[in-house]
Structure 1
Amino acid sequence: MKKLPLSTHVTALSPRRPSRAEAEEAVRTLIAWSGDNPARPGLEKTPERVADAFGEYFRGYKEDALAELAATFEEPSGYNDMVLLKDIAFESHCEHHIAPFFGTAHIAYLPSERIVGLSKIARVVDIFARRLQTQEGLTDQIASALEEGLRARGVAIIMSARHHCMAARGVHQRGVATVTFRFLGEFERDSALRDRFMAAVRD
């Protein structure tokens, strides 16, 4: 499969956006297709609620991950070793079934003269997670954005998540955790550095 450029994922690239009324009508259609009556009292307001929820679930399409990383700071002490954030919580939706998946991310980068506010890394995770995703693509997009946006000498990511599309449909496996990895720059080239990262994540 041909890898898409990072710019494809940083900001939204979509056809004409339907109106709010069209979105709500689509929900009514799905309710009716499922076998229920979208006009009954319990479901009458559901299309509005679903549209509101989608706006929250997928707000990442309105946000720019690289813009979050634009403001960096010179590190006066000259620190240039690994910076690691552990247990960043995220929630996303799989692009195959629009079913949620939840998990944690462990992210490290090697600064190149400048550092970024730690909350910005968590924001980048949230921006990409708030889009329709595969976990593999999500892992790669976050790593690529950090490498480009910070001009980092290296980036390492581990993401672990449980997928509702496996737990509530299909094979009905509730306890399965999916783990994905991405190593760029010095983390990709230096096995000892990767081992340090893995050991620090386990601690």
Structure 2
Amino acid sequence: MSDPSGTPLPRDGGWAAYTDHSRRLSALLKDERARAERRAAASRDGLTAVDRLTHRVASQRQHLHQLAVTLRLPEPQVGGIAPGPISDPAEALRRAATAADAADAAAENAHRRAAQPPLLPGLTPLARNSLVYATAAILGSFASLLMFVISPDTNFGHIPWQLVPWSLCGLPALAFFAGYLTISLAGQPRIAGGGGTRSARAGGVICFVGMPILWFIFIAATRG
């Protein structure tokens, strides 16, 4: 028995072995094509992931430059990409994505902290400013009382009237401007739109009303 070309075909035992080897070869070729398709798909997915990561890093770089300008910090220096020791592309992409997530979290944390003032960031603006003005008023009151105590007129049992303008106007004004300057320098957020306020009206009440009241109470207590 022969095929149309005249080549003799193997007998039944040889034909069975031939067909068995053919099936095995076909299965191997099919598996190889499947592996090649999987490698091609993985390569395409890898290239897509690299493109996405490249665009993300470029956006992060631009965001960092803008954040540095907003926060009035030195411009960040971003160096080149050095080859790493990881040979598995999937693992390298996973670690790169993790690093990009960490960079985004750090930038968000920096932006959130910049939206709060350096001085007493946990307080509301009114509470923080009132505390600053009150501290300045207390220090001014101590200065006023110290001037009163060391005045020569006090030793003679007289009220040092020359100190009254300072105690009622001069020192309250100095305390107000000291508090206002402190809030302006350390009580304002470093980015625009952070809700910064100086509470000048509350500061005026604390300094120009509170300090004279304390002074009169002291005078009444010492003269009584």
TM-score (normalizing by structure 1): 0.30
TM-score, L = length of structure 2: 0.27
Structure with greater helix share of residues: 2
Q: Which structure shows the bigger proportion of residues in strand conformation?
A: 1
